[in-house]
Structure formats: structure tokens, C-alpha cells
Amino acid sequence: MGKKDSKYPRVSVINCVSETLEMLRFSSEQLIENAGTDNFDYIIVCWNTTPEVDSYIKELEGRYKQSHPKLKIFRVDHKEIPNIGYVPNLRAMINEGFTKAFELNKYSGLVNTDQAFYKNWLINLAKHCNQKQMVSSVVVMPKAILEHYQGNFGITEYGKFNLQKFDKFCNAILKKNKLKTEQGLKGEEYLYLIGFPYLFPKEMWYKAGPWELTLDHGTPDVIFFKKAHRQGFKFIMSLDSIAYHLEGAERGRFNKPAPEFSKKMDYDPISFYSRAKRRFRKEFFNLLKKVGIIKKENIV
């Protein structure tokens, strides 16, 4: 840290939490200590947090005052939106996080409490920031999707996550100063380049965001990425930025209970009309592709 990171833009990193203290502790300390820079703002969006979580967040910046003097930590409190469900409120938290993030910096990205981060993960994203592209990490998941790696290193808590095994795995797949770009890809294959975490510019948020809160029109993050791509933003993957993502552990997967308060709410409701409309559109689109009327869009 120091001269090495001063030539790269200061960025915002967003996390969301309610009751998962141990996962927040692990992900936050991994995030900060392995960032390779302290030139960032860490924004924690809170909803129905416990006193233990509150205390941890309050003390976190002070713990890194000597080793990470430029790091700043901000808390944002989510005001619950009634009658839309649990996960839609989580998406609203993300929107609130990005609102704060882009008040502070020109580039921002999102992480989860169910993540681990390999060394230099953030600086190896920040060094590729520009106004017309999104840069993402290589992601390791227990069940791999798209172009990402498969590996299971446990729950993201101290004593439950195999850090030694994770570090060895990351070291084997690391490709220093290498990128994967859209060149040679077709259609919507650019989505393969979206790992989690990622950084993107403020302009992309203003042109393609915020996230929709419900599933009525499709998956909200995918809608956002597709809209951004149509607006001309490009996507790249930094092959020396690596993270692990359980995906959904804080929402009640991998034998982790969902927050107690969420059990009284619909999980991720979608109207019968919207569900039927989505099914019809999917079947109709597949039929048009089958008969050759619709072909894949080429990336320019």
C-alpha cells in the first residue's frame, strides 16, 4: 500500500448484513486484509441487526487505523419496505448501498458476507477501472456456473473455512496481469465475464440502475447487466483477482438459518400473472430460436 495504489481510483465496496455476525466478521476482515490497498470506502448496509453486529461495525474502522489509515467505514440503515418480501428488501439494500457508494466515489462494487477473498483481490480490480467498463473477479463456488471454478472450502466463518486449502487453490489458478475480455464472445456470453465481486463506474449505475426489486420482469442483477451492455458498457474479468462465493448462505442455505425476522415474510414473491407471462415468453422465444427466426446477437 502507498505509492502502489495511489495511481488507481478510490473505490467503494458494499456489503449487507442483518444477523450474521460471524460471517460479517470473516468476510470483512478477509476483504480488508487481502485488498492490497486501503484506498477504499467500505459501506455496510444494515437491516434488523443484532447488538453484537452493531458493536462490531462500530469498532471495525478503529481496528485498522494503523495498518489501513485511508480506509473509511460507513453504515447505512435500511428502512424496511412492507409487503414486498424478504429478498426484494435485500435488493433495496443493495440500491441504497450504491446510492451511498457513488456519493463517495466514481467506482463501486458489491460483496456478500458469504465470501472469502484472495490476496490483492481489490487492487487487481481497481487497476482496470475506467468509465466504460465493468471489471469482475474470478469466482470459486461449491457448484460452479458459467466460466467460474468449482471448489468447496466451507462456511465463511473462522474455524469453518479452510483458508490454507483456499489459498493453495487460488495460487494454482492465478494468472498475473491477465484479463479475459469480450473479444471472441458472441450473444450474451459476455455474462460469463461477470464474477462476484466486481467494480463498475457511476455512469453505468445512472444509465442502467437501480436494480428492480422483484422477479416480475426477470432476475434483477441480470436485467441490470444486460441493460448496461446495451448502453455500450464492456465487461472484463481480472484473472489475478479471485474470490470465493457460497451464494445465498446469509439467506438460509448451506445449513445456515435465515434471519429470524425474515421467517414472517414471503421469501421472493412473484405474481401469478408475471409467472405465467415469463413462462410464455420463454417458451415463445425458444420456439422462435428453434425455427431460426431469432439468432444470437453478436457483440460489437
Q: Residue 177: inside a domain, yes or no?
A: yes
Q: Residue 140: inside a domain, yes or no?
A: yes
What is the chain's pLDDT, residue by residue, as a tens digit (300 residues)? 655 667 899 999 999 999 999 999 999 999 999 999 999 999 999 999 999 999 999 999 999 999 999 999 999 999 999 999 999 999 999 999 999 999 999 999 999 999 999 999 999 999 999 999 999 999 999 987 766 899 999 999 999 999 999 999 999 999 999 999 999 899 999 999 998 899 999 999 999 999 999 999 899 999 999 999 999 999 999 999 999 998 776 766 666 777 888 888 898 987 544 444 455 455 545 555 566 664 543 332
* Contact (Cβ atoms closer than 8 angstroms) between residue 211 and residue 90: no
Backbone phi and psi for residue 256, each to the nearest 5 degrees, phi listed first? -100, 130
Domain that holds residue 121: 3-255
Q: Residue 294: inside a domain, yes or no?
A: no
Q: Residue 128: inside a domain, yes or no?
A: yes
- At residue 18, the pLDDT reads 95
Q: What CATH number is attached to the domain comprising 86?
A: 3.90.550.10
| Helix, coil or strand: residue 41 | strand
d(CA 71, CA 131): 23
Identify the CA nearest to 68 among candidates 47, 40, 96. 40
Q: Residue 168: inside a domain, yes or no?
A: yes
pTM confidence score: 0.88
Q: Three cell numbers at 162?
A: 479452510
- Buried/exposed code over 35-47 (b: 16+ C-beta within 10 A; e: otherwise): bbbbbbbbbbbbb
Q: Residue 266: inside a domain, yes or no?
A: no
**Number of domains, the chain:** 1
Q: What is the DSSP string of 236-286?
A: EEEEEEEEEE-SSGGGT-TTPPPPGGGGGS-SS---HHHHHHHHHHHHHHH
Q: Residue 180: inside a domain, yes or no?
A: yes
* Contact (Cβ atoms closer than 8 angstroms) between residue 149 and residue 273: no
Q: Residue 234: inside a domain, yes or no?
A: yes
- At residue 264, the pLDDT reads 85
